[in-house]
Homo-oligomer: A and B are copies of this chain.
Amino acid sequence: MYNQSELKKIVDKAIINLSYNTEAEKLIDPVRYILSMGGKRLRPVISLMSLNLYCDIIDGGIMPATGLEVFHNFTLVHDDIMDQAPVRRNFPTVHTRWGINQAVLSGDVMAFIANECFLQSPSGCLAKVFSVFNKAAIEVCVGQQLDIDYEKQAVITLDEYLRMIELKTAVLIAASAKIGSIIGGADIKDSDLIYEFGRNLGLAFQIQDDLLDIYGDARVFGKVQGGDIIANKKTFLLVKAFEIASAEQEKKLHELFTAGSTDPESKVKGVLDIYDQLNIRNLTENLANEHINIAFSQLEKVSVSRERKEEIMQITLSLIGRDK
């Protein structure tokens, strides 16, 4: 069985070895740039772990796994345009460095480089794998649309928020896991269970990510502390706070999120005070844990030995910091 660090190395190598049409280097420079920024390679690693549940030889899954990472980075390039984000993982975003037009076009070509990776799936499961990926890709776009739409609304419901992160984040992790299992030879029942495992893992992961924006170490995380609050982003913490706030706390929250009413630092501090009063940190951790538990209950039903599930269970726990 491969562990997380071995799989990450395999994925990193496959990304470095990607071959490009280099007739226009300006098109490809931003592609190499965003793909070399690193990160956990969560989606391809999960995909290969899922394959590895069934099969010791994982070669057939490496290119589709790489496609998942290329697609994910494509969404980052375009999302950063839409969010006007200046920095990602401590580096200037693609559009900041090369301009919006270049970010649109280099992003576009990444979508087709991802396709090229999926076309290298084992021929027997190409149609299945591609179809699982593409359904997720469309859903990710829908999720990004909801994210944009919700930014214009002062308040959204918890259900709206959870559906948005499901589409924007969880379905791609679910698809990654499912694709690995299909290539590994899982039957439909197993690959559906693994999809549900991945979906819940993805939800937990995003909820945890929301938490880290404000309670994480900004340097390690590569973002501004409380950046989501400053950018008026909907997070689980904020949506939950609005849901359970007293009339007075709600009024205060609305004030804090009214443009120009406070400087960023006081805004983050003001919101944090209300989070503390409402015990938001615990509530958030609880929900992330709940989804991890559901993920495990799905994984439990998967028809491979408990021993083979060790690595995927470990990465799952590490994602919400329960391995420390």
Q: Point out residues on A near B: beta carbons under 8 Å.
A: 21, 23-24, 26-27, 78, 81-82, 100-102, 104-105, 107-109, 111-113, 115-116, 119, 123, 126-127, 130-131, 134, 137-139, 141-142, 144-146, 148-149, 167
Contact = CB atoms under 8 A, between A and B. Distances in A.
A167 B24 CA distance: 11
A309 B148 CA distance: 50
B26 A149 contact: yes
Contacts of A101: 81-82, 148
B105 A82 contact: yes
B116 A138 contact: yes
Contact of A104 (B27, B104, B127, B142): B104
B119 A134 contact: yes
Contacts of A26: 145, 149
Most interface-central of A26, A27, A107 (chain B CB within 10 A): A27
A104 B126 contact: no
Contacts of A123: 127
A105 B167 CA distance: 14
A319 to B, nearest CB: 26
B105 A108 contact: no
Contact of A149 (B24, B139, B141): B24
Contacts of A109: 138, 141-142
A163 B92 CA distance: 33
Contacts of A146: 23-24
A24 to B, nearest CB: 4
Contact of A78 (B82, B108, B144): B108
A145 B27 contact: yes
Nearest to A78: B104
Contacts of A116: 134, 138
A104 B116 CA distance: 21
B126 A112 contact: no
A107 to B, nearest CB: 8
Contacts of A149: 24, 26
A108 B111 CA distance: 9
Contacts of A130: 115, 119, 130
Given A78-B104, A100-B100, A105-B82, A141 B126 contact: no
Nearest to A134: B115
A267 B127 CA distance: 53
Most interface-central of A24, A130, A149 (chain B CB within 10 A): A24
A112 B141 contact: yes
Contacts of A23: 142, 146, 167
A146 B22 CA distance: 12
A27 B146 CA distance: 9
The 10 closest A-B pairs by CB, nearest first: A24-B145, A109-B141, A27-B145, A82-B101, A112-B137, A115-B134, A112-B138, A24-B142, A111-B111, A23-B142
